[in-house]
């Protein structure tokens, strides 16, 4: 949705601040739609990282703690980390026995080799410099430990968000105009890019996979409200429009979702790309 950070802001600081604020504001509504999809990704992501038993596991970009709790349910000593205080507040309330810390994925506050597995569910695509983050994943991994990341596939194969973005475009709105410059959210849907990202951090034995998640909703309004409450960039673009323009976007979204109708509601297939690798 947006391009790379500006050269005068190489760390992507403005974009990080935007993401932190946007996700904190949506912490209470995240699970209406996006959190439900995240829950479906948790199992395969933890499998890719080899999470089992009493392993020390770090969940980067933990949000409301969905993947952290899933790791703990396997017996792992799981720690969740996120930059958004609002998300962490929800995670701590829901999972009071688990550890959650404020942390920047690109500068993790943990010692080298502190974890036997690192997972990052649908977060790498939100980082200004993913290469720096994955290097941090590798640093905090113990030798032989595994890192696993999940990202959305491109909009045509992940239409839950793709159709919302397309509905904005249908109305002639420039989605870049009201947002700070940020990364290409779909770069690592490309398997070559994912392989390069993991390999550049010194990780080996790269494994790639594809996961299909079917999301079902009772009606389009449930999806509309859920997506606005569980996304950052596109939801912000919509919220900054006038009421009349928001209504036009809504109408375009309704038209686009007609194709996903099934008896009893709507059914949308979301594709997630998985990448995993080992620290030598």
Sketch the domain layout of the chain as residue ranges. Answer: 13-154+181-213+272-278
Share of the chain above pLDDT 90, in %: 90
What is the domain class of 13-154+181-213+272-278 according to CATH? alpha beta
pLDDT at 242: 95
Burial letters 141-152, b for 16+ CB under 10 A, else e:
beeebbbbbbbb
At residue 213 the predicted structure's pLDDT band, cuts being 50, 70 and 90, is very high
Contact 46, 74 (CB under 8 A): yes
Report, as an integer, the average pLDDT of 109-135: 96
In terms of Cα–Cα distance, which of 155, 270, 153 is closest to 208?
Answer: 153
Report, as an integer, the average pLDDT of 81-94: 97
At residue 180 the predicted structure's pLDDT band, cuts being 50, 70 and 90, is confident
Cα–Cα distances in angstroms (integers) from residue 16 to residues 63, 99, 182, in the given order: 15, 23, 9
Q: Does the pLDDT of residue 177 top 90, yes or no?
A: no
Q: Does the pLDDT of residue 9 top 50, yes or no?
A: no
pLDDT at 245: 96
Cβ–Cβ contacts within 10 Å for residue 131, how many? Answer: 14
Share of the chain above pLDDT 70, in %: 96
pLDDT at 94: 97
Q: Does the pLDDT of residue 133 top 80, yes or no?
A: yes
pLDDT at 7: 37
Report, as an integer, the average pLDDT of 19-42: 94
CA 249 to chain centre: 24
pLDDT by residue (tens digit) across 53-82? 999 999 999 999 999 999 999 999 999 999
Q: What sign for the dihedral angle of Cα 21, 36, 127, 256?
A: negative
For residue 93 the two structure tokens come to 């309330």
pTM of the model: 0.92
Average pLDDT of the chain is: 93
Long-range pairs of 66-69 with CB within 8 A, sequence gap ≥ 24:
66/35, 66/38, 66/39, 66/42, 66/121, 67/38, 67/41, 67/42, 67/119, 67/121, 68/95, 68/98, 68/100, 69/94, 69/95, 69/98
Cα–Cα distances in angstroms (integers) from residue 36 to residues 71, 218, 232, 268, 270, in the given order: 16, 14, 16, 13, 12
Report, as an integer, the average pLDDT of 237-261: 96
Q: Check residues 249 and 161 and name the one with the higher pLDDT.
A: 249
């Amino acid at each position: 949705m947006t391009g790379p950070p500006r050269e005068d802001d190489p760390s992507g600081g403005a974009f990080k601040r935007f993401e932190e604020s946007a996700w904190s504001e949506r912490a209470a509504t995240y699970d209406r739609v996006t959190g439900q999809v995240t829950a479906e990704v948790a199992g395969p992501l933890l499998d890719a990282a080899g999470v089992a038993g009493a392993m020390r596991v770090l969940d980067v970009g933990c949000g409301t703690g969905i993947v952290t709790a899933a790791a703990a349910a396997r017996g792992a000593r799981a720690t969740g980390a996120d930059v958004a205080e609002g998300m962490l507040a929800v995670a701590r309330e829901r999972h009071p026995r688990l550890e959650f810390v404020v942390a920047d994925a690109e500068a993790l506050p943990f010692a080298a080799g502190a974890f036997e597995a690192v997972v990052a569910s649908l977060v790498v695509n939100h980082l200004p410099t993913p290469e720096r983050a994955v290097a941090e994943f590798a640093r905090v991994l113990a030798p032989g430990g595994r890192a696993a990341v999940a990202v959305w596939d491109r909009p045509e194969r992940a239409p839950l968000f793709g159709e919302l973005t397309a509905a904005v475009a249908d109305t002639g709105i420039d989605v870049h105009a009201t947002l700070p410059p940020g990364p290409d959210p779909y770069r690592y849907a490309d398997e070559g890019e994912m392989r390069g990202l993991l390999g550049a951090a010194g990780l080996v034995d790269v494994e790639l996979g594809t996961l299909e998640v079917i999301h079902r909703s009772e009606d389009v309004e449930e999806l509309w409200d859920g997506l606005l409450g569980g996304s950052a960039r596109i939801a912000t673009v919509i919220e900054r429009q006038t009421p009349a323009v928001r209504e036009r976007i809504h109408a375009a979204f309704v038209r686009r979702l007609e194709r996903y109708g099934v008896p009893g509601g709507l059914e949308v297939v979301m594709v997630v790309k998985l990448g995993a690798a080992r620290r030598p």
